[in-house]
A and B are shown apart, each in its own frame.
Chain A
């Protein structure tokens, strides 16, 4: 079993929809939870990070961490075609080593 599990999708939604992306994990030592966006043939781009449990909002993006369930989510409101990309969750204990999920491919149709 992988330390971080993420449904690869693909996920297809109409423009303007609310998107929910999720990851589960098994290592209770993880304290930092990140979401990266990766466009085709580009490097991953850090969207948001959260320390420990709770919510964090940045514009149309909201990250949620539930450590009791070992479950994290990224919500995208009013999704746009430019949001079409692969979304990677990543987690870290205090060591700085990131463990990535497989990535979920999202397509937002105009």
Chain B
């Protein structure tokens, strides 16, 4: 069974530029999560989707971050404009709706903002 797929794996951009990350969850998982992991820290939830609906986006900096999950499968996370402090690893995870504690993570996208 294929795991969570993310692209790109690495991205280097200058500040004020836009950037987008893509995630394809495990087949059959209707819950999708985006996390941000700063160096030396644990992941922190940005947004959680149940199918197409964002059910928890309280930690998403909405002035510059946006996300979408069209058709309840793939998802895109966007930052515009990027700031130096956005440098981090952006992780996507998925789970079945009734086993939200059992989340499976992708490899992440390592973003460097210069």
Q: A101 to chain B: which residues have CB within 8 Å?
A: 42
Q: B4 to chain A: which residues have CB within 8 Å?
A: 43
Also in contact, A49 and B108, with CB within 8 A (given A8-B40, A43-B91, A103-B42) = no
A6 to B4: give the CA distance in the assembly, Å: 27
Which residue in B31, B100, B105, B110 is a CB contact (below 8 Å) of A44? B105
Q: A103 to chain B: which residues have CB within 8 Å?
A: 40-42
Which residue in A4, A95, A98 is a CB contact (below 8 Å) of B103? A98
CB of A104 to closest CB in B, whole Å: 10
Q: Most B CB atoms within 10 A — which of A36, A43, A90, A97?
A: A43
A43 to B56: give the CA distance in the assembly, Å: 22
| A-B CB pair tally, cutoff 8 Å | 56
> Is A88 positioned at the interface, with any CB of B under 8 Å from its CB?
yes
Q: Most B CB atoms within 10 A — which of A8, A90, A97?
A: A97
Also in contact, A43 and B44, with CB within 8 A (given A96-B31, A96-B100) = no
CB of A54 to closest CB in B, whole Å: 15
Q: Are A43 and B101 in contact (CB under 8 A)?
A: no
Query: Which B residues form the contact surface with A (CB < 8 A)?
Result: 4, 31, 40-45, 48, 56, 91, 93, 95, 100-108, 110
